Amino acid sequence: MYRTRRKLADGREILYFDAEPNPREAIDRRDLPITTTHSQARYDTLLGEWVVIASHRQTRTFLPPADQCPLCPSTDDRLTEIPERDYEVVCFENRFPSLSTAAVEFAEHVTGAPLALLRNGFGRCEVLCFTSDHNASFAELEPARARLVVDAWADRSAELRAIDGVEQVFCFENHGEEIGVTLSHPHGQIYAYPFITPRVQKILASVARYRDQRGSNLFGDFLAAERESGVRVVQTNEHWTAFVPPAARWPYEVQLFPHRQVADIDDLDDVERDAFASIYLDVQRRFARRFPDPMPYIAAWNQSPLAHRDEWWLHMQLFSIRRAPGKLKYLAGSESGMNVFINDTTPEDVAAELREVT
């Protein structure tokens, strides 16, 4: 992998990832104001969780037509976020970030709410484009391109994790209008949080409790049990296993675990990265072909928070709100009000269905 770092017209960073050396010398000729953010992180005292307030994102670009896509390469007639006329994989700072390293300082508490802690919206948000082909999808990538994306995830994870004040790095992809994407070009995002996210906090508590009770690693035992039973395994290779979790919350959900305990994507060696690209493309294509309708999904890397690398086990969570042709899973009263998920599918049946997809 070859990385080239450049600047956009408003000072944001853009990084090109290529399989072969490429100077990437195009200049961003747009007249852009300097990007600013006024986001805050407010602490929910009752739930013990941080909530990000980012009202400036109301003006972000929303589902433009293909000929106005800001993630396509630039042309003589139209300048986009990517100055080059073509690219393989590219990453740049979000123009409408929820979190920013240039965040403005705020007071210690929310006005009129002395129990609600307040901090600035510190962090970093990046956009990662998987291909210059506007009409493609991750499932349609060649293995070499998918591997290049893995290398880009690893590169950004390591660099963002090194920023003073960052506690956790989250790489993810939202795919499909039903999920809420605002740009249809194949891309994902990367968030560098200044706190440990609620999901990871819960997992860490479970890992610690299991270690105290059983004296072993919860992740490792969980993976070993799924591999041994095989009933929910969708696909496996020498280095990875993809399976439907036994208590799946989403109609279609697959978790991908490496067989070796590593904390982050950049800890994976070359062979493990190749193996992930292979199995992930396989699972992605099974998702894509499961129904006549496109499968909206979220792909979420669960990486280690900075302070818990020895305890963590990297894994990917891929899930969809599609429960049947023409039917979506909505988070209604129980899910949204009490965070108690009620699944309309059976994990064992979903695993069998995905195994049968060709």
Token representation of residue 323: 């429960």
Active site residue 187: yes
* Strand 187-193 with 124-129, pairing: antiparallel
Listed residue (354, 141, 149) closest to 268, CA to CA: 149
Q: Is 228 exposed, middle or buried (0-12, 13-18, 19+ CB in 10 A)?
A: exposed
Structure letter (DSSP) for residue 103: P
Residue 117 corresponds to which tokens in the numbers above? 């802690």
What dihedral angle (degrees, nearest 10) is formed by the CA atoms of 322, 223, 170, 45?
90
User: Annotated catalytic residue: which of 175, 187, 239, 308?
Assistant: 187
CA gap 139, 288 in Å, rounded? 7
Cβ neighbours for 11, distance < 8 A, ≥ 6 positions apart? 34, 35
Angle at 61 between CA 7 and CA 53, to 5 degrees: 90
As given in the structure block, the two tokens for residue 189 are 């995002």
Q: 287 in helix, strand or coil? A: helix
Q: Which residues contact 62 (CB under 8 A, 6 or more apart)?
A: 182
Residue type, 356: E
> Residue 200 class from Cβ within 10 Å (0-12 exposed, 13-18 middle, 19+ buried)?
buried
Report the distance separating Cα 169 and Cα 188, nearest Å.
13
Torsion of CA 264, 235, 150, 259, to 10 degrees: 30
Collect all residues with Cβ–Cβ distance below 8 Å to 271 and sequence separation of at least 6. 239
d(CA 252, CA 323): 7
Catalytic positions are 187
